[in-house]
Amino acid sequence: MRHLPIDSTLFAKHRERLAERLPVGAIAFANANDVLPTNADGTLPLHPNSDLFYLSGIEQEESILVLFPSASNPKHREILFLREPSEHLKIWEGHKHDKEEATTISGIRSIHWVKEFDDVMQQLAAEGNTFYLNENEHSRAEKTVETRDQRFNQKLRSDYPLHRVERLAPHLHDLRFCKDREEIKLIKQAIEVTDRGFRKTLRMIKPGVTEFQVEAEWSREFIRRRCKFAYTPIVASGSNACVLHYLQNDQTCKKGDLLLMDVGACYANYNADLTRTVPVSGKFSRRQKQVYKSVLRVLRKSIANATVGKALKEWQNDSHEMMTEEMLRLKLITKEQVKKQNPDQPACRKFYMHGLGHSLGLDVHDVSNGQSHFKENSVFTVEPGIYLPEEGFGVRLEDNVQITASGPLNLTSRIPIEAEEIEEIMNR
């Protein structure tokens, strides 16, 4: 692992909370992700399974976590199955966890090798009556490839057809929605590195620089600080910024253009998600600054509006009303269009077509179990934008906020955002 060690009490606390939700006789399972193939004999780097990491801190392939809180044998209440280290693996793939190391990371004392799973599982199944099986149930998940969870679930159903099966994901989504103090510290670490990356990158942006050179500057700062990209970065100059998920990052930044950068660091599997829009030449034009300040006003009002108990749908709708006022001022829409608009598709959606924000944590679009309201210690992005392809630019600004009982706390407040501050840094 690239990050510094995390106290295992965090993962033990998460397991304890899940155990409290499981009825007597329930056995819950969490699997590592697959190592995904590319071409020939190539593979992609392993991306740790968020649920397995949340419950154990384990990031190694082929791992299985089994939780059986009501087991009569205390050694069966928490079991971690790992790929057994060997000299062959050590030479070809490197270090694999031994049992002592796995206990230090996870706090779990009962460690077995994966090859022992079937034998141990027979003992557990004889006492348990319900399997809580996990799967990626994110509302926007694409399920075009069979996952390790799905193969595991099929085998367990086949081996034990008389056991009842329940879904684990809703419980984990509900638990993960609100963050522990330790989790928020890790998110803050990712944000701090993102801040450093932004400040470094600002100083090298100028006409003639390519989008991929800008991406490389971000990457350099992230890697040297134990991080990786939280998601594929968007580095979009000129009209490219009007493509919401622009990923080519291969064009040259031109004089007079704006450059939209949607980039975040991932530290210890916890993510930041930042967007800033800056002038390639170091100074906004009058029109660009007008649009920029409109988006900034909506951002700040929307952050203030993110309070415990606030309905997420109402929060989004409020941003439409704010955007409508700004777009009338910018002469992007008319009062007549507003008067005739469909309430479900307001006129402002022509230039502001995406959602206002999303839950943030172990996943960039973090799981939420269909939560409809802000809860204390949930963490959200706030990201309004205005996109003007006919004028050749778009502006999106994005901050990360923690929802607290005393109001929203902007975790990204130290990262430059005022137009004048950005101009000053770029021209320093």
**CB count in 10 Å sphere of residue 48:** 20
Q: Are residues 133 and 155 in the same domain?
A: yes
Give me the number of domains the chain comprises: 2
1 assigned to some structural domain: no
Q: 280 with 322, same domain?
A: yes
Asked whether residue 165 is domain-assigned, the answer is yes
**314 Ramachandran zone, left/alpha/beta (phi>0; psi -120 to 50):** alpha
Can you give the pLDDT at residue 154? 98
The verdict on 205 and 171 lying in the same domain is no
Question: What is the spatial distance between Cα 175 and Cα 183, in angstroms, rounded to a whole number?
Answer: 12
Question: Could you say which residues of the chain have pLDDT below 70?
Answer: none
Inside any domain, residue 3: no
How large is the C-alpha radius of gyration of the chain?
24
CATH code assigned at 339:
3.90.230.10
Residue numbers of the domain that contains 148:
9-176
Please, are residues 212 and 249 in contact by the beta-carbon 8 Å criterion?
A: yes
Strand boundaries in 202-302, DSSP class E: 228-229, 234-237, 258-263, 265-267, 270-271, 274-279
Q: What is the pLDDT of residue 1?
A: 79
Of 176, 198, 217, the domain-final residue: 176
Q: Are 212 and 323 within one domain? A: yes
Same domain, 277 and 356: yes
| Residue indicated by tokens 């580095």 | 235
d(CA 302, CA 64): 41
Q: Which amino acid is at 253?
A: C
**pLDDT score recorded for residue 343:** 87
Residue 88 within any structural domain of the chain: yes
- Starting from the edge strand earliest in sequence, which strands make up the sheet with 270-271, in order? 228-229, 265-267, 270-271
Sign of torsion, CA 250 254 259 261?
A: positive
Helices vs. strands in the chain: H and E counts, helices first = 13, 17
Distance between CA 150 and CA 127 in Å, rounded? 24
Q: What is the pTM of this model?
A: 0.97
Q: Which amino acid is at 91?
A: I
Residue 165: the pLDDT is: 98
Taking residue 147's Cβ as centre, other Cβ atoms within 10 Å add up to 17
Considering the domain boundaries, does residue 203 fall inside one? yes
Based on the fold, state whether residues 186 and 146 are members of the same structural domain. no
The last residue of a domain, from among 112, 142, 176: 176
Structure tokens at 134: 């996990």
Return the amino acid letter for 358.
H
Pair of tokens at residue 175: 């638990």
Q: Per 3-state DSSP, what percentage of the chain is helix, strand, and coil (rounded to 5)?
A: 40, 20, 40
Assigned domain for 385 exists: yes
Same domain, 330 and 362: yes
Q: Is residue 4, in this structure, part of any structural domain at all?
A: no
Q: Of 73, 101, 141, which Cα lies nearest the Cα of 5?
A: 101
pLDDT of residue 369: 76
pLDDT of the residue at 19? 98
Cβ partners under 8 Å of residue 407, min gap 6? 304, 307
Judged by phi (left if over 0) then psi (alpha if -120 to 50, else beta), residue 212 lies in alpha
Please identify, among 112, 141, 176, the residue that sits at the C-terminal boundary of a domain: 176
Place of tokens 């800033």: 276
Task: For residue 2, tell me if it sits in a domain.
Answer: no
CB of 249 closer than 8 Å to CB of 232 = no
**Per-residue confidence (pLDDT) for residue 142, from 0 to 100:** 87
Reading the block at residue 183, the tokens are 């989790």
One domain for residues 403 and 326: yes
Q: What CA–CA distance (Å, rounded) separates 46 from 35?
A: 5
pLDDT of residue 280: 98
- The DSSP code for 49 is -
Minimal CA–CA distance to 415: which of 396, 398, 395? 398
Q: Which amino acid is at 18?
A: L
Same domain, 206 and 79: no
Hey, which residues does 81 pair with through a beta bridge?
Answer: 64, 112
Question: Do residue 257 and residue 304 come from a single domain?
Answer: yes
Same domain, 130 and 211: no
Distance CA 279, CA 197 (A): 17
CA neighbor of 412 nearest in space, from 192, 249, 226 = 192
CATH code, domain carrying 145: 3.40.350.10
**85 close to 98: Cβ distance less than 8 angstroms:** yes
Instruction: Mark whether 168 and 209 lie in a shared domain.
Output: no
DSSP bridge partners of 404 = 407
* Among the listed residues 273, 255, 217, 206, the one whose alpha carbon sits nearest the alpha carbon of residue 411: 273
